[in-house]
Structures are given as structure tokens and as C-alpha cells.
Amino acid sequence: MPSGRTHDRITLYALPLIAGVTFWQTRSSNVTLLVAGGFLFGGLMFGPDLDIYSVQFQRWGFLRWIWLPYQKSLRHRSFLSHGPIIGTTLRILYLGCLLTTLVILVLVIAQKLWNLSFTWQDLGETIGRSLMNYDTEYIALFLGLELGAMSHSLSDWGGSAYKRLQKQGLRGLLTSSKIKKRKPTSRGRRRATVSKDKGKITKDK
């Protein structure tokens, strides 16, 4: 598996290509900025390795504790963290739920202290209009985050496949994981003990 520095280099080297292709396809500087920014953020701070104590995790600084429940809930390199689309979607939902909870608490406190005049219905309508009016921007940002995350996952998978190819040849590419040896069951252990005891008795005779 590539190191954190290698992942960073891949993200930084691929950034001009991502930005160039996006601008070539969209002819929009705003969309290009969102895709490139999302790609950079996704590759450096919002990638699949947030499920372990990684460079991405450490870059959150004093806020990195918010990812501890995420790490405890997922197995490293599982499909839910490293899988296409679902990994990025799950991280967005996770972070979105935390931010929504924080915003609700702040608004409730502000409403109590300063008697702010707003309703939750008005807030919901404002968010809904934002999602409708800026749908292209949200899609561009999600695409950038996904590309940044997938550059990380693909380099992991590519590095693992290359090591298997070196060690096992082409057959190593067909088997994604090593076959684990079965642990002996209690019945098997009993049989092994009995056979050893018989061997000792025979020798005594």
C-alpha cells in the first residue's frame, strides 16, 4: 500500500489534469474551481483513509476526534470506506449529520439568548431552495471529492496488485486475498491429544 506522501504526490500531480479536463468539458471557471477544490480536499483530507490513524486523519488537527466514531464503525479498506461513490457519500452524510446537529444547537441557543425570529420551516425552505438553485455546483463538488477519493483507492489497489504480481505472478491477480488456514476445532484438538497419548503408551510398552 502506498505511503501517505505517495498519495499526496498522486493528488498534487493529477490536480492540473483534473482541472484541465474539467474546464475543457464545461468551459466554466466556477465548475472547474469546485471540481479541482473538491479533488484536492478529497485527496488530502477527505479520503478513504479516515477510517484509520492516517495522514488524512491527522490533518484535521483538533477536530480529528469527530472521525473516531467513524473509525470504530468501519473496518479498514472495507467497501463502505474505499468503495466507489458509497465511500464518499457515507463520509458526506456522516460529516453532514454532525454539522447539522451543531447548527441546530447554535440556532437553539441563539434563539433563546437573542430572541431571533425565525422558524424551522423557513430554514428548511431556504436549504431546499439552495439545493435546487445550485444543483450543478453541488454535483461538481461531489465529483471532485469522489475523484480525489478514488485516486487514493485506485493507488492502494494498484499497489497491492503489483506486489501480488511480483510475488505470485498472474495467479496472484486472480486471488485478492490469501487463503487463511482454518484453526483446529475443539474436536480436532481432542483427536490430536488422544493420538499423542496413544503414541506415548505404545512407546512405554
What whole-number distance in Å separates Cα of residue 11 and Cα of residue 148?
Answer: 7
What whole-number distance in Å separates Cα of residue 147 and Cα of residue 145?
Answer: 6
> From the CB of residue 41, how many other CB atoms can be counted at a distance below 10 Å?
16
pLDDT bin (cut points 50, 70, 90) of residue 60 is very high
94-116 pLDDT, tens digit per residue, is 999 999 899 888 888 887 787 77
> From the CB of residue 52, how many other CB atoms can be counted at a distance below 10 Å?
15
125-163 pLDDT, tens digit per residue, is 888 888 888 999 999 999 999 999 998 778 766 656 556
What is the reported pLDDT for 155? 74
What whole-number distance in Å separates Cα of residue 46 and Cα of residue 106?
Answer: 25
User: Do residues 159 and 167 make contact, with C-beta atoms less than 8 angstroms apart?
Assistant: no
Contacts of 184 (CB under 8 A, 6+ apart): 192
> From the CB of residue 139, how many other CB atoms can be counted at a distance below 10 Å?
13
Q: Which three cell numbers stand for residue 71?
A: 473509525
